[in-house]
Amino acid sequence: MRRALLIPFILAFIISPPGQGHAGDELEGIPNSLLGDSVGSELREVIDGATFAGEKRDVVFKGHRVVYEFLLDHLDFTSQIARVLDLSDYVIEQTAEGTYEATTPRGGWALLHVVYTDDEKRVILAQGRYGRAVVVLQYTAFEHQGESYVINDLYGYVRADHLIFDLLLSFMGGILEYRVAQVFTNVAELSERAYEAPASFSQELSTHGELRPSHLREFAKILKRLPSQEAPAYLPM
């Protein structure tokens, strides 16, 4: 269970062919407030013309909403954590508010536009070399028997803007399930690492000087406020 959040899912959709599927008639999870402008038109264009569509629902893992949302709202920092912990080789840099440029060592590239954010949803429009994608992430946090959890639903739509890419998508069956399962496994571990041992996790991150200091300080403050699930060390009498 390694890597960071929804980054690999988005990049897997845009940078490499994720699989075969089709878009439904409804814009699953897209807020009505987005549908009346140019962004809404592009979302509809991608979803209605999707070469591939997939979803993963009811994925539950231990975690605190504040940690999860911080990582979602700072995708550049999240990608840094993934790299320094040797969990991923994706590089994501923020180019403007809500806009990121994502690259991979092998030449993969995508622009990620966070077009909608609220307390339970993120909508991302991504532009790659050969196509576009829409990713809708719906989530909520809850308590159960004294433990904190996050539950996710994720919807993805990919539209190939190149004939060759479209053909590749049509022949690459079965990959989406693997990609999505891998991402949620990674998300769960990262969340649970902060959940189970926030102080230790913060200390581990502080040893990596390449992490952006301002984000690291802010993240460390969040982790410091979290209750630790670590068992106290045994001290012999």
Overall domain count for the chain = 1
**Does residue 184 belong to any structural domain of this protein?**
yes
Residue 2 forms part of a structural domain: no
pLDDT confidence of 1, banded at 50, 70, 90?
very low
**CA 141/CA 152 separation, integer angstroms:** 9
131 burial level (CB within 10 Å; 0-12, 13-18, 19+): buried
**73 in Cβ contact with 139 (< 8 Å):** no
For residue 163, tell me if it sits in a domain: yes
Q: Which CATH number does the domain housing residue 55 bear?
A: 3.30.530.20
Q: Is 140 within the bounds of a domain?
A: yes
Band of pLDDT at residue 72, cut at 50, 70 and 90: confident
196 vs 202: CA distance, rounded Å: 12
Q: pTM for the complete prediction? A: 0.79
Domain containing 148 equals 7-224
In a domain? residue 183: yes
**Domain assignment present for 234:** no
The total of other beta-carbon atoms located within 10 Å of residue 156's CB is 28
The model's pLDDT over 197-219, given as tens digits with 9 standing for 90+, comes to 999 999 999 999 999 999 999 99
Structural domain includes residue 149: yes
Question: pLDDT tens-digit profile of 127-144?
Answer: 887 788 888 889 999 999
Closest by alpha carbon to 60, among 123, 136, 154? 154
The total of other beta-carbon atoms located within 10 Å of residue 232's CB is 6
117 within a domain of the structure (yes/no):
yes
